[in-house]
């Protein structure tokens, strides 16, 4: 079997490999990580200059090869073009999107540096699988260096509607660079349609009925391969977690009240201010539920060097104070807000305890929290998933209560509906959802993508 070479912006560090820290990519790729695999990317460390050679480490037969990023490159490539331009634009938030030509030049330079550092590690027959928006140009740079291996690219975030992509000044260069891949994968049909529409609108290239594009004689197949989790393993983890002292203490602290849980990276795409507003609206509209519910929101710190993220943290602190100030009683706090990373094992216990999982991003590639929440439930007495229709996960989780996250009244209504939902309806929804989460698993994701890449 061909060796798989995974290329991503960040290579997991020791803490992520040990499961102590959040890492969506690691969860989704677990099945592809067989001994012999090579994983190449940034170490997460900054140096004076971006490295030209890699440093290797082997864990369980998998080789992790990393480079460091120069401080200036980190600012322009990572914080700048990747997270200040592509991240908001691809999440369809044009008003938050900034563009700086110099940052884009550095983005291209760093993509080239990734390709150059990877080149000496490649062998004939390797399957190269590149991940995410930071590395849109790596396949094209590898082709310039003469690499003829099969190369695939998977986008973990949404792909914007064509009219939005056209806002990006170098949209033509970026799309052309992407077409140096042999396979391009997206989470949903909507993302794929947006991409094909953008290629048509910007480059004038139409796809065949099977989503095949041809540029200068090179053929690219565009596929939909939604990422998933290992549901059975997560169910087992949640059962173990429910027996832990920490989970028991959490249950005791609820004093018989229903728990609602939200788990996110602290990011403006996750819709957290609107979510807190919706909870405030719920408490004011349904006074009968006051004192009967406790909402735990975990928000892991993320991209803290960026002003917008700092401002978001302040806003959430303020809103938390306002809700608790208005509704708390001496023996009841309506909102528990944890602005820190919590281990997966603890989170699994929170999910299982929670009567409601509240997942309301404004826009999300997939959202694995929705799938984890479903897998963690006790089938005999399952909780209810409230899910934004703008998460990729909504395309595959029909039995969730779907909401538009900016319509805070509809979210408040959904919370009420979930709280009063009879057991038989909760069970029927959960059986169906669990089946869907098990079917669209992490291993199916890896297998379908690598199969498309092989043929």
Q: Is 194 an interacting residue with respect to ligand ADQ (CB under 6 A)?
A: no
User: Does residue number 265 form part of the binding site for ligand ADQ (CB under 6 A)?
Assistant: yes
For residue 373, the minimal CB distance to ligand ADQ (Å) is 9
Residue 157 touches ligand ADQ, criterion: CB under 6 A: yes
Q: Applying CB under 6 A, what is the total number of residues that bind ligand ADQ?
A: 23
Nearer to ligand ADQ, 54 or 341 (CB): 341
Contact between 111 and ligand ADQ by CB under 6 A: the answer reads no
Specify the pairing of strand 218-224 against strand 212-215. antiparallel
Candidates 11-19, 24-32, 188-196, 323-331; binding stretch for ligand ADQ (CB under 6 A)? 24-32
172 noted as active-site residue: no
Choose one: 50-58, 74-82, 360-368, 447-455; the region binding ligand ADQ (CB under 6 A): 360-368
- Cα dihedral sign, 429-434-439-445: positive
Positions 298 through 327 that interact with ligand ADQ (CB under 6 A): 298-300
Check: CB of residue 179 under 8 Å from CB of residue 137: no
Q: What would the two tokens of residue 331 be?
A: 């023996």
Q: How is residue 132 written in tokens? A: 């995410």
Residues 6+ apart with CB under 8 A from 378: 352
| Catalytic annotation present for 210 | no
Interaction between residue 113 and ligand ADQ (CB under 6 A): no
Residue among 167, 116, 169, 159 at smallest CA distance from 138: 116
Listed in sequence order, the residues at least 6 apart from 441 whose beta carbon sits closer than 8 Å to its beta carbon are 228, 229, 230, 231
Tokens of 201: 């609108």
Active-site residue, from 73, 91, 126, 156: 156
51 to 40, 42, 110, 112, 115: CA distances (angstroms): 13, 10, 10, 12, 12
User: Under the criterion CB under 6 A, does residue 368 sit at the interface with ligand ADQ?
Assistant: yes
Q: In this chain, which stretch among 261-269, 377-385, 405-413, 429-437 interacts with ligand ADQ, using CB under 6 A?
A: 261-269
CB atoms under 10 Å from CB of 406, counted, come to: 15
Angle at 262 between CA 22 and CA 292, to 5 degrees: 145
Asked if 342 touches ligand ADQ (CB under 6 A), the answer is yes
* Sequence-ordered strand ranges (E) for 33-147: 38-47, 55-59, 62-70, 127-131
**Residues 37 to 56: which contact ligand ADQ by CB under 6 A?**
none
Q: Which is nearer to ligand ADQ, 270 or 319 (by Cβ)?
A: 270
To the nearest whole angstrom, how small is the minimum distance from the Cβ of residue 49 to ligand ADQ? 29
Residue closer to ligand ADQ (CB basis): 279 or 351: 351
**Residues of span 202-231 touching ligand ADQ by CB under 6 A:** 227
- Does 264 engage in binding with ligand ADQ (CB under 6 A)? yes
Phi/psi for 405 (5° steps) reads -65, -20
What residue ranges bind ligand ADQ (CB under 6 A)? 22, 24, 27-28, 156-157, 227, 263-265, 298-300, 341-342, 347, 364-369, 372
Which residues are marked as active site?
156, 364
């Amino acid at each position: 079997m061909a060796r798989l070479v995974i290329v991503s912006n960040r290579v997991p560090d020791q803490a992520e490999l040990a499961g102590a820290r959040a890492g969506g990519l690691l969860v989704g790729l677990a099945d592809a990580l067989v001994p012999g695999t090579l994983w190449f990317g940034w170490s997460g460390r900054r140096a004076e200059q971006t490295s030209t050679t890699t440093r290797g480490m082997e864990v369980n037969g998998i080789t992790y090869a990393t480079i460091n990023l120069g401080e200036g490159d980190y600012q322009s490539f990572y914080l700048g073009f990747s997270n200040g331009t592509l991240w908001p634009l691809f999440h369809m938030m044009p008003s938050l999107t900034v563009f700086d030509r110099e940052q884009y030049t550095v983005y291209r330079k760093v993509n080239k540096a990734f390709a150059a550092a990877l080149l000496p590690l490649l062998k004939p027959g390797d399957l190269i699988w590149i991940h995410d928006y930071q590395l849109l140009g790596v396949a094209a740079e590898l082709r310039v260096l003469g690499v003829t291996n099969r190369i695939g690219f998977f986008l973990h975030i949404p792909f914007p509607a064509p009219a939005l992509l056209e806002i990006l000044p170098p949209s033509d260069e970026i799309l052309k660079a992407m077409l140096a891949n042999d396979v391009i994968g997206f989470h949903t049909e909507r993302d794929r349609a947006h991409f094909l529409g953008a290629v048509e609108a910007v480059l004038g290239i139409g796809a065949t009925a099977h989503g095949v594009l041809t540029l200068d004689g090179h053929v690219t197949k565009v596929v939909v391969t939604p990422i998933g989790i290992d549901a059975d393993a997560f169910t087992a983890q949640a059962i173990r977690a429910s027996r832990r002292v920490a989970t028991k203490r959490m249950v005791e602290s609820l004093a018989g009240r229903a728990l609602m849980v939200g788990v996110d990276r602290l990011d403006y795409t996750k819709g957290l201010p609107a979510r807190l507003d919706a909870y405030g609206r719920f408490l004011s509209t349904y006074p009968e539920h006051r004192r009967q519910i406790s909402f735990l929101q975990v928000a892991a710190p993320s991209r803290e060097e960026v002003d917008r993220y700092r401002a978001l943290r302040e806003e959430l602190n303020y809103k938390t104070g306002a809700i608790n100030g208005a509704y708390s009683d001496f023996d009841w706090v309506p909102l528990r807000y944890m602005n820190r990373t919590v281990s997966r094992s603890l989170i699994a216990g929170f999910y299982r305890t929670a009567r409601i999982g509240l997942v309301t991003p404004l826009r999300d590639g997939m959202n694995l929290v929705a799938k984890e929440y479903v897998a963690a439930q006790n089938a005999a007495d399952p909780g209810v998933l409230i899910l934004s229709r703008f998460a990729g996960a909504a395309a595959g989780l029909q039995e969730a209560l779907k909401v538009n996250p900016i319509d805070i009244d509809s979210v408040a209504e959904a919370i009420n509906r979930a709280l009063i939902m009879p057991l038989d309806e909760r069970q029927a929804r959960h059986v169906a959802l669990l089946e869907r989460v098990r079917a669209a698993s992490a291993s199916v994701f890896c297998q379908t993508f690598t199969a498309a890449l092989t043929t």
